[in-house]
Amino acid sequence: MRDNIERWLIHESLSFDEISNSENNFHIIAKHAGQFGIPIEVFEPKAQPGVLVIGAKIAMKNNQIARYQGFNEYEKEKFEKKVSDFCYSIQAVNKIITEDGKQKIGVYVVLDEKTDVNQQTFFEAIKRVSEMHEKTSRFLMKTF
């Protein structure tokens, strides 16, 4: 699967880097993908061989991070539910993570059928992730 992904990215003239991640069989970041030119992550989790995950991370702004870190557990749960509900409404799998000292919201598309993993569905998924990234970013600015 990794070879196909790399070949497809090269074919579309998208630059990418390989990331070392012990949780994944492979982990690639396409640097400027989708209509918004954002970094898109593509990986196959070791725990789920044959499943392709395509996603992007939205970094929260410094003032948003400070506000989030000041929340008590109830407020954090309420915020996370609000984000999850929004992501569900745009058909995104989401995860709130801390990376490089910043709070980020990851939005993902999962291709889990072998027949789903082809060049066309791969680039359709990149387009969807790019749109979900933009919508989630706007949602954060408006509501938080």
- Please provide the average confidence, as pLDDT, over all residues in the chain: 92
Please give the pLDDT value at position 113.
Answer: 75
* Cα atoms in the Cβ-side hemisphere of radius 13 Å centred on 96: 19
**pTM listed for this prediction:** 0.88
Q: Residues 71, 75, 79, CA angle at the centre, nearest 5°? A: 105
Q: Other CB atoms closer than 10 Å to residue 58's CB: what's the count?
A: 22
How is domain 2-143 classified at the CATH fold level?
A: Yope Regulator; Chain: A, (3.30.1460)
**Tens of pLDDT, residues 118-129:** 999 999 999 999
Give residue 112's pLDDT.
86
Burial of 93 (0-12, 13-18, 19+ CB in 10 A): middle
Residue 50 region by backbone torsions, left for phi larger than 0, else alpha for psi between -120 and 50, else beta: left
pLDDT, tens only, 45-100: 999 988 999 999 999 998 998 898 899 999 999 999 999 999 999 999 999 999 88
What is the domain partition of the chain in residue ranges? 2-143
Kindly list the strands in the beta sheet with 102-111, ordered across the sheet, starting from the edge strand earlier in the chain.
Answer: 16-18, 24-33, 38-45, 52-59, 102-111, 93-99
**Model confidence over 9-32: pLDDT tens digits?**
999 999 999 999 899 999 999 999
Report the candidate in 32, 34, 12, 44 with the shortest Cα–Cα distance to residue 110: 44
Largest Cα–Cα distance of the chain, in whole Å? Answer: 48
